[in-house]
Chain A
Amino acid sequence: MAEHLMCELSVPGRIGFQFPDPDVPTAPLPEGLLRDDLPLPELAEIDVVRYFTRLSQLNHSVDTGFYPLGSCTMKYNPKINEETARIQGFANLHPLQPIETSQGALALMYHLQLWLNEIGGFAGTSLQPAAGAHGELTGVLIIRAYHRSRGDTKRNKILIPDSAHGTNPATSAMSGLQVIELRSDERGNVDLEALREHCDDTLAGLMLTNPNTLGLFDENVEEVNRLVHEAGGLIYGDGANMNALLGIIRPGDIGIDVLHYNLHKTFSTPHGGGGPGSGPVSVTEELVEFLPDPVVDIVEPGDEEQGVPPLYGLVAPPQTVGRVKAFQGHFGMFVRAYTYIRMHGAEGLRNVSEYAVLNANYLLALLRDTYHIPYDRVCMHEFVAEGRWADAPDIHALDVAKRLMDFNFHPPTNYFPLIVHEALMIEPTETESKETLDAFANALIQIAEEARSDPEMLKSAPHTTPFGRLDEVKAAKELVLCCVPQYEKL
């Protein structure tokens, strides 16, 4: 059942929250600058709590069911993260407090920087970027600053494989680079032939997602990196898929120059219904000086023997690209990622990736006979299947996705990557059990049968969810984007 909007529930005179009366003499208000309307609802606390609780129950979430949304790493988010991030000494800390009063926060950031260096095989890290795409922008600006610092101003083009996420080309365009799309070869790798054509002295770099968005580790990676470096370009690594590589391989060791992590994927910070993310960027030694301002560093050495800790501070790298947002970054996410890394250690992180890859290959093995796998080889943490069959001509991946909801599963990512027709991109993550994977595979197998025997069952799905398919055309045509009702004047 659809829920009423708050403007419909509002009753004049209801109070939801009471502030104390002023304990100071009141001052005259600035006549002429005051507003005479304030279009907000009037509700009691219980109305608000019920409203949002009931809304929450209309969502599918990791806490309520399997969520194999490819490329998004919807793993379980440990509850302890939510406790540590809310520790008073973190939650109530102002970002501009003097460093003497925020040594705990700075120490935490310093160690997280070091650990991300270690995990990725890099020399320096900025925690400032707010999400993956923001990390991409930061990284591409670093690449541009690097070339500029060498007087190498011709480098205005960037290569992006056709399997890349949309943020890669959008980022590059935002930073003024010309985007050249690289085709993939028949094994899903970067096509070396195509790459060679573009390796010249106008090449700023290449953005590589590895494992790529097909869930495949690029078998040519070392050759790709060698060719780009030989031409004087740098390699940007889109680390959205680091969940496959923790303790398995370090991108910095195989020639990646800049990489962003998604703390909201790999390191278990919650996705929040769309965000917040956190997209730290790690770089090689020669790029450290270009990192955004500020990074955390030791500004006064400590004395271990005397038990004196070092003094941590915020420092601007010498040739910094500048600030990419206000303050230091999504600190609340740093606390969660710190908690997660600390609870795993090196061995635990390797297990994460091993089980993520095991789960994906297990599902692939269960589904291979029923769903066409366009690039069928050992996958990493995810794989891409096709949601179409020659003998079920009306059925699309979207129908498979919608029907899955009837089994209480969130559908896989649809229609991405673009190089696969009717793509279903499946990422189970390491936190799912064999039973869940079996049930999911069985549902998909049943759906494949229905596609032939009862296509209408798919076309009209979902059936058991609180809402059926939506009229997206109507939404775009009528463009009702808010309800600003006429409440009574103040």
Chain B
Amino acid sequence: MFTPHTKEDRDAMLRTIGIDRIEDLFKDLPADHRNPELNLPPALTEIEVLTELQDIAWANDTTRELVSFLGAGAYNHYSPAVVDAILRRGEFFTAYTPYQPEISQGTLQAIFEYQSMIAGLTGMDVCNASHYDGATAVAEAVNMAYHNFRGKRPKVILSPGVHPHYRETVRTYTHDSEVILAGDQGEVAEDAGPEALIPLIDDTTGLVVVAYPDFFGRIHDFTELAEAVHEAGALLSISVNPITLGLLKAPGEFGADIVTGEGQSLGIPLSYGGPYLGLFATRQKYVRKMAGRLAGETIDNRGQRAYVLTLTAREQHIRRDRATSNICTNQGLLALAATVYLSLLGQHGLRQVAELCYHKAHYAADQISGIKGYELWSDQPFFNEFLIRCPRPSQEIYEHLLEHNLIAGYPVGNDYPGFENYLLIAVTEMNTKEDIDWLVAGLEEVSNG
């Protein structure tokens, strides 16, 4: 498949090489292991493979067939037709990292636009061309802070409100290193505000990581925390959901040193968990400490404005074992998706979708907390997601409502012991009032078993 060689081509090529058979090219390989019999299903044609995959996909019930209030780090937003139309241009998706700027200005200028928009949204000075996802972006922030202080400030404080997967990823990354993790091991209560982290900060602390909104959907003002962090000489990293930033203050305004985030909500399909988009932005003074690719503006030898990958001496292909990160391939195409999404929506559209999410979530929260036995966990402001205490274990409620094709949210008991009765509910512009009313009716019906 997909090889254009005719028999004549092949024979002519073998003659030019000076051999009789293709097998002669593999003589350097251990003979007793050559040409294994692979046990794979027989080849299908395009028509057959499409049918097979449609059949497989049919066994899934998606956010299109179900009514879903599932968020917890991945959100069911609308992606305008323009986004995929641009992504499908082969000139974008079949190119690679723009190592040769003369013939890669499309990708490079798009990266520059991406850097500009994410820097603007987050209130930071610079942004890299992407990390793998929201989780690994936090791990890279930890890495960067550790190197920034040359290992002298190994303590990293993780708020328990940071997504559980992100904290687990940081643990995996730092397991064999000198980094000491604190903050999410019961030192502070889940319902405490960011100020509760302040007593944990000491002169070995290099980084404090919080989330905006946090895993429970809450919005905090981090100004006071930022002051305490900076007073102690440490850095503050805020993990964001960028849709939120269409409405709410940029983390830069609170004094963040690093802003990371999961960019999936910017026009990227749910696709069962990936590929998504790791956002990473920081202050100008840390730009040389930041990992990842960067596009910078310059001119070409004809005097035209143009873009090129710059500060590459930070990266693995030059620094090898002294690079701060090993990242090479990133999430280029997803960064393009986010760029097209933000360009199309513009300031009015992003504000509009953020407000829609906000209003719908608040309507849902109002209605649900009006049902007997249900109560909002926190009176802190929230964006489009909130935690509800249920009259029964939330897992039971969830399973019950699933039988009615309703995913009522995310039961958080597995991630937060003691929270077995809590359900995390996300609402986006895709949920209609009718969906919400149905959720409310469902929750009411199952409230007493």
Contact = CB atoms under 8 A, between A and B. Distances in A.
Interface string A342-378: 1111111111101101110110111000000000011
B270 A326 contact: no
Contacts of A72: 96
A334 B353 CA distance: 31
Interface in B337-362: 340, 342-353, 355-356, 358-360, 362
Task: Give the residue among B68, B74, B320, B333 with the most A Cβ atoms within 10 A.
Answer: B320
B38 A247 contact: yes
A3 interface: yes
Contacts of B13: 358-359, 362, 434
A176 B33 contact: no
Interface residues of B, number: 204
Interface stretch (A190-198, A297-305, A459-467): A459-467
B322 A271 contact: no
B405 to A, nearest CB: 9
Contacts of A333: 274-275
Given A15-B348, A264-B329, A342 B43 contact: yes
B271 A93 contact: yes
Interface string A210-227: 000000110101100000
A60 B221 CA distance: 46
Interface stretch (B160-168, B181-189, B202-210): B160-168
Nearest to A134: B132
A467 B102 contact: yes
Contact of B95 (A60, A83, A105, A330): A60
Contacts of A490: 347, 351
**Residue from B99, B121, B274, B334 with most neighbouring chain A CB atoms (10 Å):** B274
B118 to A, nearest CB: 8
Interface stretch (B17-25, B224-232, B370-378, B441-449): B17-25
Contacts of B61: 97, 101-102
Nearest to A401: B100
A24 B66 CA distance: 21
Contacts of A56: 86, 89, 91-92, 106
Interface stretch (A229-237, A386-394, A444-452, A471-479): A471-479
B152 interface: no
Closest 5 CB pairs of A and B: A89-B57, A274-B332, A63-B90, A272-B333, A327-B273
B330 interface: yes
Contacts of A177: 176
A358 to B, nearest CB: 6
A465 B301 CA distance: 12
A393 B375 CA distance: 78
Contacts of A487: 347
A274 B293 contact: yes
A75 B96 CA distance: 11
Contacts of A423: none
A365 B16 contact: yes
Given A97-B407, A466-B105, A332 B120 contact: no
B265 interface: no
Given A88-B62, A270-B94, A321-B175, A462 B163 contact: no
B402 A49 contact: no
A132 B326 CA distance: 10
A221 B30 contact: yes
17 contacts: A35-B245, A38-B350, A40-B345, A56-B92, A61-B92, A97-B407, A100-B402, A137-B173, A170-B325, A174-B173, A217-B26, A219-B28, A248-B34, A271-B93, A275-B332, A378-B25, A431-B4
Given A479-B287, A484-B119, A405 B102 contact: yes
Interface in B269-304: 269-276, 284, 287, 293-302, 304
Given A49-B85, A326-B73, A481 B130 contact: no
Contact of B297 (A85, A247, A330, A478): A478
Contacts of A219: 28
A76 B2 contact: yes
A30 to B, nearest CB: 4
A468 B101 CA distance: 9
Contacts of B294: 481
Contacts of B68: 94, 97
B408 to A, nearest CB: 11
Given A101-B66, A174-B173, A480-B298, 11 more contacts: A19-B352, A22-B356, A56-B106, A59-B103, A101-B61, A249-B36, A273-B333, A327-B165, A328-B274, A467-B105, A475-B307
